[in-house]
């Protein structure tokens, strides 16, 4: 059945692929962005140019729009954004999908003895700090994890939106991946650099870019609510990922455990002091299958190598 869908932040990376998938499925799609980045969708979508962080602009922009069957909010980063979503869409959306991340579990610390479940993060108990300068661009990196957690906590406590929160594993894409995280490992291997790591067994969960978009599409078409983890089997630590890069590129790579006292997470992307692996039992019980990282990660590494200069 055709649905009327709004995607907030749909012009690059996961959001762009999400819009593509929704259009292929025959849905009516509106994309809301600040209008700075071009998109390839032409007249196939409607567009709303708006600053997601400006409540007055948001409420004015959507005063006569909708109602929407699904809103995918790719740009809800903190409790202030969450409050704007509530005051803009409450009572006017059938399903509100706030994209979240494995990084939300960082508030629990590291070195867990088992995969992380959705209920392990007691979201209702999280403190919400509305006085923090969440929209200060200079603090975007330092407040990312706390912001995502508190955004979810705000929406859960408010209860006005039919909320589902996909907590996505680290997403790996090809050269279009603006984060440059996987590219870092490919470049380091090609330059014969040495990877320093904190813990060779500190595995993380991953998803391919296409898999992340496909999962979001699926989530939007379901009826369940609440948090749901998304990850492939085959978690990898930073050291093991670098070794995988070397194997794919047929290039010897060198690794070295960092000296005691080195700041965890500062050595390279995906370097953490302990494992953070997502338990995907809930998604699987609901009917979704993710597959294994062995099925796609080598091809993704090769795409970065082709782009390496």
Q: Counting Cβ atoms within 10 Å, is residue 36 exposed (0-12), middle (13-18) or buried (19+)?
A: exposed
- Residues linked to residue 197 through DSSP beta bridges, in sequence order: 257
Per-residue pLDDT tens over the stretch 72-93: 999 999 999 999 999 999 999 9
Per-residue pLDDT tens over the stretch 236-274: 999 999 999 999 999 999 999 988 766 655 689 999 999
pLDDT tier for residue 228 given thresholds of 50, 70 and 90: very high
Q: Looking at residues 218-232, what average pLDDT do you find?
A: 98
- CA gap 128, 113 in Å, rounded: 28
- CA gap 191, 287 in Å, rounded: 43
Q: For position 260, what pLDDT does the model report? A: 72
Q: Which two tokens stand for residue 293?
A: 């990282």
Averaged confidence pLDDT in the chain: 94
pLDDT at residue 165 above 90?
yes
- Cis status, amide bond into 218, omega within 30 of 0: no
Per-residue pLDDT tens over the stretch 1-38: 899 999 999 788 899 999 999 999 999 999 999 888 78
Count the alpha carbons within 13 Å of 56 in the hemisphere toward its beta carbon: 0
């Amino acid at each position: 059945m055709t649905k009327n869908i709004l995607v907030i932040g749909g012009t690059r990376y996961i959001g762009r692929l999400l819009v593509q998938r929704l259009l292929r499925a025959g849905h009516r799609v509106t994309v809301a962005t600040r209008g700075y980045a071009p998109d390839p969708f032409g007249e196939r979508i409607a567009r709303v140019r708006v600053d997601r962080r400006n409540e007055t602009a948001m409420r004015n922009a959507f005063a006569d729009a909708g109602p929407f069957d699904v809103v995918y909010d790719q740009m809800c980063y903190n409790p202030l954004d969450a409050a704007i979503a509530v005051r803009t869409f409450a009572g006017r959306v059938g399903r509100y999908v706030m994209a979240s991340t494995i990084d939300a579990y960082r508030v629990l610390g590291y070195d867990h003895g088992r995969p992380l479940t959705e209920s392990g993060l007691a979201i209702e108990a999280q403190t919400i700090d509305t006085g923090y300068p969440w929209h200060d661009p200079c603090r975007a990196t330092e407040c990312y994890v706390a912001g995502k957690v508190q955004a979810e906590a705000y929406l859960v406590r408010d209860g006005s939106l039919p909320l589902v929160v996909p907590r996505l594993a680290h997403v790996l894409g090809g050269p279009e991946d603006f984060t440059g995280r996987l590219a870092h490992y490919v470049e380091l291997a090609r330059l014969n650099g040495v990877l320093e790591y904190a813990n060779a067994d500190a595995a993380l969960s991953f998803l391919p870019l296409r898999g992340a978009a496909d999962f979001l599409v699926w989530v939007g078409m379901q009826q369940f609510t609440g948090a749901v983890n998304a990850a492939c089997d085959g978690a990898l630590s930073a050291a093991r990922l670098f070794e995988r890069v070397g194997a794919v590129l047929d290039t010897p790579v060198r690794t070295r455990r960092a000296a005691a006292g080195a700041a965890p997470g500062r050595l390279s992307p995906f370097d953490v002091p302990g494992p953070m692996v997502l338990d995907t039992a809930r998604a699987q019980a609901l009917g979704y299958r993710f597959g294994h990282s062995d099925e796609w990660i080598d091809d993704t590494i090769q795409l970065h190598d082709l782009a390496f200069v």
